[in-house]
Amino acid sequence: MRDVYVLGIGMTRFGELWASSFRDLFVEAALEAIGDAETDRLDSMYIGCMSGGLFVGQEHIGALMADYLGRAPIPATRVESACASGGAAVRLAYLEVASGASEIVLASGVEKMTDGADVTAALATAADQEYEVYHGVTFPGLYALMARAHMFKYGTTREQLAQVAVKNHYHGTMNPNAQYPFEITVEQVLASSMVADPLRLLDCSPVTDGAAAVILASEEIAKKAQAHPLVRIAASAQASGALALHDRDDITYLDTVAKASQLAYQQARITPEKVDVTEVHDCFTIAELCVMEALDYTEPGKAANLVEAGETRIGGRMPINTSGGLKAKGHPVGASGVAQIAEITAQLRGEAGDRQVAEARIGLAQNMGGTGASCTVHILEGLA
Ligand code: COA
């Protein structure tokens, strides 16, 4: 396998974007990534999208996007793994370049969720229909079960969950692309509307339109590029597991995240302590805590203590979700995994502006589908 580098990054603003269509969002992010890479060559493309069919009535997304980007007839493939669609698209692009089959590949993600579809029902298709959804549970409901179990098993408090959202909204104030770039307090989280007990409105990632894109290239191409410091993909890993919570031994422990991250640490030849900056899939506040524990950043049950101590803030020992995360930046489901790679790349290039983590050299991006039944983990290394 050959080394693979991130040559370009791009993303739209995330939010309720009435003026942009589904395809406009993809094209805007892709053109920004192509411009950032300063290349005109693309050998193929992957588009992560959870549910174009249910959100905007559009399938056959690969060819549509290649055509509107003006790149047909290159191969263009839509990738679906629920909310991990973006991470899976990056992984397939990575494998295509690593294998030597292509030199420059675009990996992207796009979702348009605010156009009036029954979003809660569309998102619920990522859970187990027969055993979970038919009985009326929604995604906030499933993560609420995980939160209750975590509170029962480890004594995690309501306030500690709120602190995750407070931290991510603070980071989001420094991201011009964020959907909700404002600060919130623990009191505001605790007073926000109840969605699924114990999770409230300000524990939830929002419903979002948006797209992100990255251009991956071989070493030969990357080393000729002058525009930015080099960023190498040191590891790309993926794992799958049970969709339904009742099929798991412990619903507070995300074993797919543990599996994918262990594979990634092995491939990158690092231990978790070496990671300088991390993006995790904080679709709900409890998710960020469970992911930190499965990534082996701390022992099970102890993640909330790190958040409370400010360790996961910019300036702390292990900054997490410097982009604002899914909570404040927004969560256009198929795009989130690609936006994470864009954020980590900006950090490792030293181009993250006000939210720059000092001397960031190794970054990790963790993206997951459903309540964690699919997961991708990428580790990136800045070579500046
Ligand atoms: N965070 C912060 N503010 C939010 C928000 C969020 N997650 N969601 C909505 N808001 C704000 C809106 O901007 C709006 O503010 P305004 O009154 O000042 O305009 C207000 O809260 C009400 O918004 P509305 O769109 O009516 O909220 P809603 O009740 O329809 O939806 C949720 C709120 C939490 C139910 C919805 O965002 C949701 O389903 N989130 C989870 C998405 C999900 O499951 N993703 C997949 C994860 S696996």
Tokens representing 295 are: 């990534």
pLDDT confidence of residue 36? 98
The crossing angle, in degrees rounded to 10, of helices 61-68 and 22-37 is 60
**Which amino acid, one-letter code, is at 49?**
C
* Span from the CA of 118 to the centroid of ligand 1 (angstroms): 13
Query: What are the sequence ranges of the domains in the chain?
Result: 4-118+207-224, 122-204+234-382
DSSP 180: S
pLDDT confidence of residue 139? 97
Catalytic residue chosen out of the listed positions 49, 331, 375, 378: 331
Q: What is the pLDDT of residues 224-260, one digit of tens each?
A: 988 899 999 999 999 999 999 999 999 999 999 999 9
Annotation says 83 is catalytic: yes
Instruction: Please identify which residue in the block is written with the tokens 């993926």.
Output: 238
CATH number of 4-118+207-224: 3.40.47.10
Distance of CA 348 to the CA centre of its chain: 17
Q: For the whole model, what pTM was predicted? A: 0.98
Contact 331, 208 (CB under 8 A): yes
283 in contact with ligand 1, CB cutoff 6 A: yes
**Contacts (Cβ under 8 Å, ≥6 apart) of 183:** 166, 169, 170, 173
The CA–CA distances, whole Å, from 161 to 158, 193, 353 equal 5, 15, 28
The residues of the chain scoring below 70 in pLDDT are: none
Q: What is the pLDDT of residues 108-157, one digit of tens each?
A: 999 999 998 899 999 999 999 999 999 999 999 999 999 999 999 999 99
Ligand 1 atom at shortest distance from the alpha carbon of 287: 48
Q: Which of 158, 116, 99, 126 is nearest to 286 (CA)?
A: 158
pLDDT confidence of residue 91? 98
CATH topology agreement for domains 4-118+207-224 and 122-204+234-382: yes
> Distance between terminal CA atoms of the chain?
23
pLDDT confidence of residue 261? 98
The CA–CA distances, whole Å, from 167 to 13, 206, 377 equal 20, 16, 22
Residue nearest to atom 6 of ligand 1 (CA): 206
Pick the CATH number of 122-204+234-382 from 3.90.1150.10, 3.40.47.10, 3.10.50.40, 3.30.1180.20: 3.40.47.10
